[in-house]
């Protein structure tokens, strides 16, 4: 049973404090930019970006993309899960930083570079998790990781065939510097 004070406290929760609002529709600094980056990255490989809603965001790991013949495309499912879950993590992180630590929102350049850094970390994690010596039967299949990231890497045509074992491989969206003016 809740006390009267607890009921009053619950009623004071503002719409901008509810995840269902924060993730797909909030106008807080960075949120829209992050979803634009996610869509842009997705479109490096796939033509259409799904319309995001709270259910799709929450269930991103359950999304099932299929071919025109109805066959599930595991690499596409993984790529979507990585992009959406990482973007949600960053949105949540930015909100907490802004609300709990500083009232100053991150700049567009900081948000852009943080998102690119998180995607590069996800790529590197996938590369490391293909190590059969270290992870045995739990290691990711190299072919799945290759298919997941294929078409999304920086200077992909010039990468060596065994790039999955190479360090320094980056996603195809560059970090923002004042020189290149990317945002």
In angstroms, the CA 116 to CA 44 distance is 14
The residue among 141, 148, 100, 156 whose CA lies nearest residue 122 is 148
Q: What is the pLDDT of residue 104?
A: 78
User: Confidence class of residue 177 from pLDDT cuts 50, 70 and 90?
Assistant: confident
Q: Is 175 among the domain residues?
A: no
Q: Is 150 among the domain residues?
A: yes
Q: What is the pLDDT of residue 11?
A: 47
In angstroms, the CA 97 to CA 92 distance is 9
Q: Is 179 among the domain residues?
A: no
Q: What is the pLDDT of residue 97?
A: 77
Q: Is 21 among the domain residues?
A: yes
Tens-place pLDDT, residues 44-86? 999 999 999 888 988 999 999 999 999 999 999 999 999 999 9
Q: Is 87 among the domain residues?
A: yes
Tens-place pLDDT, residues 145-155? 999 999 999 99
Q: Is 171 among the domain residues?
A: no
In angstroms, the CA 27 to CA 138 distance is 40
* Domain containing residue 120: 4-165
Quote the number of domains for the chain.
Answer: 1
In angstroms, the CA 61 to CA 168 distance is 27
Q: Is 120 among the domain residues?
A: yes
Q: What is the mean pLDDT of the chain?
A: 85
Q: What is the pLDDT of residue 93?
A: 86
Q: What is the pLDDT of residue 62?
A: 96
Q: Is 42 among the domain residues?
A: yes
In angstroms, the CA 36 to CA 123 distance is 19
């Amino acid at each position: 049973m809740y006390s009267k004070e607890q009921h009053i406290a619950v009623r004071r929760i503002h719409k901008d404090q509810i995840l269902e609002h924060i993730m797909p529709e909030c106008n807080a600094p960075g949120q829209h930019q992050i979803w634009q980056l996610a869509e842009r990255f997705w479109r490096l490989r796939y033509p259409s970006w799904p319309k995001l809603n709270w259910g799709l965001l929450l269930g991103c790991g359950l999304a099932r993309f299929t071919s025109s013949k109805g066959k599930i495309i595991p690499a596409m499912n993984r790529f979507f899960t990585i992009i959406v879950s990482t973007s949600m993590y960053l949105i949540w992180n930015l909100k907490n930083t802004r609300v709990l630590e500083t009232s100053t929102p991150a700049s567009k350049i900081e948000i852009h570079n943080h998102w690119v850094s998180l995607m590069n970390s996800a790529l590197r994690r996938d590369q490391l998790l293909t190590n059969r010596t270290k992870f045995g039967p739990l290691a990711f299949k190299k072919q799945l990781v290759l298919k997941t990231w294929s078409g999304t890497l920086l200077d992909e045509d010039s990468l060596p065939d065994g790039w999955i074992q190479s360090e320094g491989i980056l996603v195809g969206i560059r970090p923002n510097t004042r020189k290149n003016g990317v945002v």
